[in-house]
Chain A
């Protein structure tokens, strides 16, 4: 970790080397630890200390990028020279919109010193609680507990300088018997907000309830979805169409749906990089302040998120959703998604269902077709048949092939509680409720 002052000194060294007409410097620093367990034993336990300096050099409308994690004087000479060389070799990009001007950033500080210095012993003790809960029931616990801190510093030759530090904690566990399993997951920027015992109990309970599963035929079912499943719905809709690049290229589920009601009126989705109940960051990787963006409001598709490049191509203004230059091929992406809570409890959703399935997790979901965001994937870690308002019995895992847009058009009830869940892709998170959908299409089963 550098701190704002040291980061500024390092970045100034690069600026002073010159050679570009304009230049942007991004410093990403990470100090992360993760303890992994399986079979009620810690089997992997790691720590990482890294930082990357990413330089974008511009000569007119030519751009070159270079990065390094060496910060000695020779390395700094080399990285700016390489970025300049790459810019010189590139033909002009007529659509390059130029670097952003300095802006005011709102203060958001999701940083907790106790989390930043969380010791390996404390992670092990939390894991020990979950393993004990599992072992008491003759079950096997596995999972991971990670803690860490990170810095993002962005500066450019027009005077932009933005610094953000954050901490993070994430606990996931899957508890298994020979024929059953249950999962629990929670994320926070304060490790103290992670309740390992509650998560362990949740996973153990699901693993107990899902023993002796029976087969049910594939087909269309009413479904009650845990927040872990809602997370997958939002992530896939995000990756495959909430960014302006996908819309611009005509491969987003938003194409032909902008301004139209495509989902249930119960569904409202937005992105907010300033909300401390998520994992906020007040600016993007170009130094543009993050704007709250309404993605879907009461079922009506509002629009995508933009970076400067896509905004320029589409006659819009950046909403502050650029990725780092080394990942710019993906285009802008929503990093802090929220789905509006409703008024129902999970129990009320189950009680209101005559026949359906309670799904606790989707797994290995992949895009089958882009324009309707048709996804295939499996259920995992506990599926239950609902009959006459009660969980009747656990069932074996099913494969689904389903348009996620259409699925959210079938939302009947929305949970009143939401859960913050970090993506495995760094820096992204969603806060989502449970859902009840009137129809969901299962196309296969497994043993």
Chain B
């Protein structure tokens, strides 16, 4: 492998590249889906290939192929150089990558039980047992359970002397119950929505999640939501969000706006830009003093946990928001150099056939002192919401509107009646400045977002978000009018 990679780097330099790197990625994904008692999918997918990125005349070119042969490496390297020459036809300046990267080493996701050593039968039994539990609840039209296991083996080398080899293992799974009745559709998920919770770990996490043990409760909640009262419409109240919804809130309203490529306009036509412009660094009150947000690719279990990013920059921890003040960005070598900073290792590609772009690693809300039960007891009136159902935010990451699967009224420090179709809306800095309490301890956990879209051609990144329930004051709740 190393000689093939070195061949590409040598050839790129011979053809005029001032910098080149190559990644070889071998991805194996196993996914199992059980739906209404039937195996809906039992798939094993394998993808391998390489991508060569070159800098010629101060402009980028990239070419990639599934064929790992010397001839194809030569062809694609030459194509990358040709593409870079074309890029140079429309440029305003030269790319500056800042200091060289010379990382060396091997990384493997720490895990107790390799999920690929567990039999298909054992995996299916988990899902079939959970399905049987959900089937005990009347009114649930669709029962779905899934498991996903990913092993990504990747090698990186650049013309500055870096060579790294990594094996990242991810384990994911989830349950979803859809109840239908009287023109209403309600969904309840576990551990979180949009398919699954996912972490960098092994089979031990599937045992911890205990899908059969949670299935009946999840299905019951879906059925109960059909008859629950609608969330009050267009009121302003205190909002307590469950940890998984806080994770989504961090992802959309802190993670994306701190991506420095967005700030510089690289995503303007597609994913959008950001309100967090460099003039706000170290001065802008992004949130209240209890809000501390960190990008940390060293944290256990996170989907953004690795040895090195896809430019060979070592994993590290960087504060983004410190005691409410905006202090940092997610950066690549090129974007960091534009601020006279060094990359904090946030360049990630979704596979061998994509260039790395600035992505979240594990962007987490640091734990506070509260416990959820104490936080609810401390709240006279408000609404508790958990598990995302709908999310939309403007192109500067400012105005947002989110909906969750379930809500509960809070009255005199206690959870009251269940509420269906809860939604809330706000503006990012006002929202985080209204945060007056963050939970910690057992309420804080690492959530996985395995479906983050960005870039053209599209890339789906896997990001991590440590989060716990948190309380927000004076939030506009209930955008959806009750039928």
Contact = CB atoms under 8 A, between A and B. Distances in A.
Interface of A: 32-52, 63-70, 75, 78-79, 82-83, 85-87, 89-91, 93-95, 119-121, 123-125, 127-128, 131, 140, 142-144, 146, 172-174, 176, 183, 249-251, 256, 325-326, 328-329, 363-371, 374, 376-378, 380, 397, 399, 401, 424, 443-447
Given A52-B47, A176-B268, A368 B60 contact: no
29 contacts: A41-B91, A42-B87, A43-B87, A44-B355, A44-B456, A45-B59, A45-B87, A46-B64, A49-B64, A50-B66, A66-B45, A78-B46, A86-B42, A123-B86, A124-B89, A128-B90, A172-B269, A251-B180, A251-B185, A328-B41, A329-B35, A366-B390, A370-B185, A371-B184, A401-B401, A401-B480, A424-B456, A424-B458, A446-B394
B90 A36 contact: no
Contact of B425 (A70, A144, A399): A399
A329 B146 CA distance: 11
B266 interface: yes
Given A93-B39, A367-B390, A399-B401, A42 B91 contact: yes
A399 to B, nearest CB: 6
Given A91-B39, A173-B269, A68 B64 contact: no
Nearest to B53: A46
B457 A65 contact: no
B40 A49 contact: no
Given A38-B268, A397-B394, A128 B401 contact: no
Nearest to B80: A47
B38 A124 contact: no
Contacts of A131: 90
B117 interface: no
A47 B62 contact: yes
Contacts of A366: 390-392
A371 to B, nearest CB: 6
A103 B26 CA distance: 37
Contacts of A36: 456
B44 to A, nearest CB: 4
Contacts of B342: none
Given A124-B89, A444-B399, A368 B64 contact: no
B408 to A, nearest CB: 19
A399 B91 CA distance: 35
A172 B271 CA distance: 13
Interface string B46-66: 111100000000011111111
Given A44-B60, A364-B395, A444-B401, A249 B66 contact: no
Nearest to B423: A368
Given A91-B39, A328-B41, A47 B64 contact: yes
A262 to B, nearest CB: 14
A121 B425 contact: no
Contacts of A65: 41-44
B354 A249 contact: no
A37 B270 CA distance: 11
Given A50-B353, A89-B124, A124-B90, 16 more contacts: A42-B89, A44-B62, A44-B357, A47-B62, A65-B42, A67-B43, A67-B44, A67-B45, A70-B66, A172-B269, A256-B183, A329-B33, A329-B40, A369-B421, A370-B185, A399-B392
Nearest to B270: A144
A173 B456 CA distance: 12
Nearest to B425: A444
B45 to A, nearest CB: 5
Interface string B339-364: 00000000000000111010000000
B180 A67 contact: no
B238 interface: no
B121 interface: yes
Nearest to B42: A86
B269 A82 contact: no
B265 A142 contact: yes
Contacts of A374: 480
B246 interface: no
B38 A249 contact: no
Interface residues of B, number: 80
A88 to B, nearest CB: 9
B79 interface: yes
Interface of B: 33, 35, 38-49, 59-67, 76, 79-80, 82-87, 89-93, 120-121, 124, 128, 141-142, 178, 180, 183-185, 264-270, 272, 353-355, 357, 390-396, 398-399, 401, 403, 421, 423, 425, 427, 456-458, 479-480
Contact of A47 (B59, B83, B390): B83
B268 A377 contact: no
The 9 closest A-B pairs by CB, nearest first: A120-B86, A446-B399, A89-B120, A250-B180, A174-B269, A142-B269, A124-B86, A142-B268, A86-B42
A69 B72 CA distance: 15
Contact of B457 (A46, A370, A377): A46
Contacts of A90: 39, 42, 124
Contacts of A70: 46, 48, 66
Nearest to A126: B90
A258 B121 CA distance: 41
A309 to B, nearest CB: 10
B183 A46 contact: no
Contact of A146 (B47, B391, B398, B457): B457
B180 A50 contact: no
A117 to B, nearest CB: 12
B121 A89 contact: yes
A69 B48 contact: yes
A371 B185 contact: yes
Contacts of A52: 47
Taking each of B46, B142, B264, B270, which has the highest tally of chain A beta carbons within 10 Å of its own beta carbon?
A: B46
A251 B389 CA distance: 14
Contacts of B142: 249, 251
A251 B179 CA distance: 9
B25 to A, nearest CB: 11
Taking each of B40, B83, B90, B120, which has the highest tally of chain A beta carbons within 10 Å of its own beta carbon?
A: B90
A325 B89 CA distance: 42
A120 B82 contact: yes
Given A32-B457, A45-B87, A249 B60 contact: no
A78 B41 CA distance: 19
A46 B83 contact: yes
A66 to B, nearest CB: 4
Contact of A39 (B48, B121, B124, B264): B264
A112 B392 CA distance: 38
A50 B65 contact: yes
A364 B270 CA distance: 10
A89 B269 CA distance: 46
A401 B424 CA distance: 12
Contacts of B264: 38-39
A369 B269 contact: no
A131 B87 CA distance: 13
Contacts of B355: 44, 46
B178 A45 contact: no
Contacts of A33: 83
Nearest to B421: A369
B89 A66 contact: no
B46 A124 contact: no
Nearest to A50: B66
B38 A140 contact: no
A250 B89 contact: no
Contacts of B67: 49
B46 A41 contact: no
Given A364-B394, A365-B392, A50 B49 contact: yes
Nearest to B123: A89
A70 B91 CA distance: 37
A71 B268 CA distance: 39
Contacts of A146: 456-457
